[in-house]
């Protein structure tokens, strides 16, 4: 019998959540994604020494440009190994500024284009705040595809679909972490709150024929991945990808288009903000995620200035 990873690939696009070229080369995902935390790890890898040194030189005169160029340099190397796309993130500190997000996103695409990378192979990652969703809506109209990250609530997912974003990343593991801590219990398989969140979003999108791709992210264990087999895409860490590659046994598809779903909803800004206010998990985890990405961005900047 083939491995569970090979079985998963028959009905879900597998994405590597890493900038580690060795891991990508070995596990052969279709797409890859990075964020400030992963870029910080990549900066410490010997194979990125040349790119890091170039970014350090530029940082002396333009730190923001240096950070973007390093992110694009890492993405460029990753794209040599995957047939699909790379997700590159806008500075998390711009999460509440629509115009600044637009400007930074367009620069990232321009930098990729200047290196000969087809813009269609790039997804711009933006935190799914109201301001981020509005920026993504404008970028999509310009032909720049987006990946709305740090999705924790159904309200975020519904707003992203209405905005026409290309892809969303619901964070399964971080939702699980919050409920495990606050409910003082563990969860398995289909009862896992993170799994339930992605399943609800997937069923809603398919029932109402939204084209937005659902990419589950931030996994803690194989059980969560197996419970979401059939999701459009799953972005998985190298450790869990390796475990899947070694795991045997039948892997059944769990998410299938055509399941029952709730009525279509449309959220304006007040309704969106109220829905977020009523969801303490989503409010806390979105704020925390932005802070953590921003902290790693600052660490990367310090490294480039060292």
Annotated catalytic residues are 125
- Distance, in Å, from the CA atom of 275 to the CA atom of 278, rounded to the nearest integer, reads 5
Report the alpha-carbon distance of residue 170 to residue 157 in Å, rounded: 8
Helix (H, G, I), strand (E, B) or coil at 17: strand
C-alpha distances in angstroms, 205 versus 20, 71, 153, 177, 261? 32, 31, 14, 25, 9
Q: Please report, for residues 45, 55, 283, the alpha-carbon distance to residue 278 in angstroms, rounded to integers and kept in the order given.
A: 42, 43, 8
CB of 18 within 8 A of CB of 32? yes
Residues 85 and 117 sit within 8 Å (Cβ to Cβ): no
| Cα angle value 46/51/56 (rounded, 5°) | 105
Q: Are 29 and 19 in contact (CB under 8 A)?
A: no
Tell me the CB-side half-sphere exposure of residue 139, using CA atoms within 13 A: 35
Distance (Å) of CA 122 to CA 83, 145, 191: 12, 7, 34
Q: Which of 69, 77, 94, 96 is nearest to 22 (CA)?
A: 77
N- to C-terminal Cα distance for the chain?
51
Q: Do strands 13-17 and 31-33 pair parallel, antiparallel, or not at all (unpaired)?
A: parallel
């Amino acid at each position: 019998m083939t491995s569970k990873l090979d079985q998963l690939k028959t009905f879900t696009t597998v994405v590597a959540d890493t900038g580690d070229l060795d891991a990508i080369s070995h596990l052969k995902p279709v797409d890859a994604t990075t964020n400030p935390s992963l870029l910080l790890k990549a900066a410490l890898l010997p194979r990125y020494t040349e790119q890091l040194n170039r970014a350090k030189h530029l940082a002396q005169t333009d730190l923001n440009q240096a950070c973007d160029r390093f992110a694009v340099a890492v993405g460029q190397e990753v794209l040599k190994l995957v047939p699909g796309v790379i997700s590159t993130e806008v500075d998390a500190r711009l999460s509440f500024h629509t115009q600044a997000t637009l400007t930074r996103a367009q620069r990232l695409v321009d930098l990729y284009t200047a290196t000969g990378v087809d813009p269609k192979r790039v997804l711009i990652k933006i935190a799914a705040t109201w301001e981020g969703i509005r920026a993504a809506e404008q970028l999509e109209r310009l032909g720049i595809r987006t990946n709305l990250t740090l999705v924790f609530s159904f309200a975020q997912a519904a707003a992203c679909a209405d905005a026409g974003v290309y892809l969303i990343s619901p964070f399964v593991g971080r939702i699980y972490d919050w409920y495990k801590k606050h409910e003082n219990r563990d969860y398995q398989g289909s009862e896992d709150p993170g799994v339930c969140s992605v399943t609800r979003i997937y069923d809603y999108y398919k029932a109402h024929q939204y084209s937005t791709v659902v990419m589950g992210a931030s996994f803690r264990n194989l059980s969560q991945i197996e419970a979401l087999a059939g999701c459009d895409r799953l972005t998985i860490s190298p450790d869990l990808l390796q475990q899947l590659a070694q795991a045997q046994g039948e892997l059944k598809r769990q998410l299938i288009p055509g399941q029952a779903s709730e009525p279509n909803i449309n959220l304006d800004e007040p309704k969106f903000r109220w829905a977020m206010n009523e969801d303490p998990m989503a409010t806390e985890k979105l704020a925390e995620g932005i802070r953590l990405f921003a902290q790693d961005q600052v660490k990367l900047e310090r490294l480039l200035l060292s």
